[in-house]
Amino acid sequence: MPWNRVLQATAEEAGAARALNPWHPQEFQAECVGTVPESGGMKTFVFRRVDGAPLAFRPGQYLNIAFPVDGPDADPVDRSYSISSAPTQPWTFDITVKREEEGRVSGWVHDTVHPGTVLDMLGPVGAFHLPDAERRPRYLLLAAGSGITPIMSMIRTIHSLPGYADIVMLYHGAKPGTFAFSRELEYLASVDSRITVYYSLGDRSVDGTWEGMVGRLTASMIDDVAPDANGRHVYACGPEGYLDVAADLLVTLGVDETAIHVEYFSGDRQVRLEYKEEVALAGELAEEYAEAVQDLHEAQTSALNVFVSNPDAEALETDTGGGSAGSRNTTAAATTSAAPETVKTSAAPMSEAAGTRGSTGTTGAAASTGTAGTTGSAGTTGSAGTTGTAASAGGTGAAGDDIDSAAPGPDPADFETVGTGSLTMSFVRSRLNVRIDEEEEILSVAKQSGIRIGANCQEGMCGSCKSVKLSGEVQMNHQGGIRQREIDAGKFLPCCSTATTDLIIDA
């Protein structure tokens, strides 16, 4: 079974759990297991992770891949490519590369990558993806040229899942015979009544027989294929000029700007810098998440012989005697570690998993879905958090801090202050005060000030920006990305929250 292969193939403890988490980018190696030629000078490369684990991602996201173009001893050249397969079949995944005439990397990939080639990868990356949950999905998908690749992942995902959906796709190509995936798209449209596909040529003159639409993207063309475009979420991918035109046309047709999602496959210097920053942040998140998950599982006992036991817990039990709190901690951990919830908790988002460096107090009660921490320090109650991570020292509930409860915390009065708003947000780990107005979104203001907070959907659905509020009040309008018990514990989603008072935030 694939699941068993994950448990057996991962080289280090907690490797399987880390691999299965879809919310955070990871660094991993992948081996090419097949190639498929496509129309329009494109080729699909099928990969699997070397550790045998599945790749969890959202349809539309991409991978940053290191290509040893100049040989194994030279620095690799990094390029980002969208995943064209569906996450519903995660044991292998596809990237589709168009050979560019003057492309340094694309030609090397076409000529060199073959079954057996192993490459270093980082991902998944990117906020251009379908929502994690949509009650009545109605989408308009616009693609031009090689911009079809993330759109293909979306269509394949929708087709593979049951339920209501209404999908209209308009695909622009340079000339007949250059539309990649056209046979598969025609098949999907013929067997799945939820999917409708239109083709259009960019040139207005066509030689030979062509039954599709003709001409560049216009408002009337969009209105012809989707007269209800203003009631749909629109995902568009392609060259910069195409996307600039598409965005303007959609606004004139009444599509709300918040419903327009674009992904550039070429762009100006500013666009390239933004992608570079996004990949850099993904690398930081991958390292932080790997460390956090490893710390979490070092504090847990063995489950199915995948995770090692915690020697600190055994030492605590020996030191405190049979009836001590340390003994109760170890027993509780051993009891819960074999339960299915423990496996689920192992792939918790980083904002929850990071709390494993905190410590329980003298009573150290077990968490409801995980295991209690075992490195207890000065807190008097310090019970484990309800999401499976240990409470921090002194019972403050702040995740991921190695702070002795006897030591005073940093004083926000000593922090540098930036911004001009009427309220103050104090970020204790970043040691920065950020001024904000009540109507401003916390995540946006924080990121503009240089605060590192991971985020994907930015609509309150995915929960990836989940943070701990140490004091103050916010107004939060989330879409299911956080549970009530997490809110009660002081957590919130900065992406969909505004400040109503001064705040102190653990970030």
- Distance between CA atoms of residues 197 and 454, nearest Å: 35
Confidence bin at 425 (pLDDT 50/70/90):
very high
pLDDT (tens digit per residue) in 79-89: 999 999 999 98
pLDDT (tens digit per residue) in 224-274: 999 999 999 999 999 888 999 999 999 999 999 889 999 887 656 566 667
At residue 6, does pLDDT exceed 50? no
- Residue 32: phi, psi to the nearest 5? -70, 130
Taking alpha carbons only, the member of 463, 301, 295, 293 closest to residue 366 is: 301
Which residues make Cβ contacts (< 8 Å) with residue 65, sequence separation at least 6? 78, 79, 80, 81, 95, 119, 120, 121, 122
Confidence bin at 23 (pLDDT 50/70/90):
low
pLDDT at 148: 95
pLDDT at 225: 94
Residue-wise burial string across 308-343, b where 16 or more C-beta atoms lie within 10 A, e elsewhere = ebbebbeebbeebeeeebbbbbbebbeebbeeeebb
421 in Cβ contact with 498 (< 8 Å)? no
pLDDT at 294: 58
Longest Cα–Cα distance in the chain: 88
If one compares 370 and 69, the residue with the highest pLDDT of the two is: 69
At residue 205, does pLDDT exceed 80? no
| 0.85 surpassed by pTM | no
pLDDT at 322: 42
pLDDT (tens digit per residue) in 446-465: 989 989 887 767 777 777 78
At residue 141, does pLDDT exceed 60? yes
Mean pLDDT, the chain, integer: 75
Which residues make Cβ contacts (< 8 Å) with residue 218, sequence separation at least 6? 249
At residue 395, does pLDDT exceed 60? no
At residue 2, does pLDDT exceed 60? no
DSSP 3-state of 10? coil
Confidence bin at 135 (pLDDT 50/70/90):
confident
pLDDT at 500: 95
Mean pLDDT of all residues in 271-280:
72
Of 26-30, 189-193, 362-366, where does the model show the most confidence?
189-193
Using alpha carbons only, how large is the chain's radius of gyration in Å?
25
- Distance between CA atoms of residues 171 and 196, nearest Å: 11
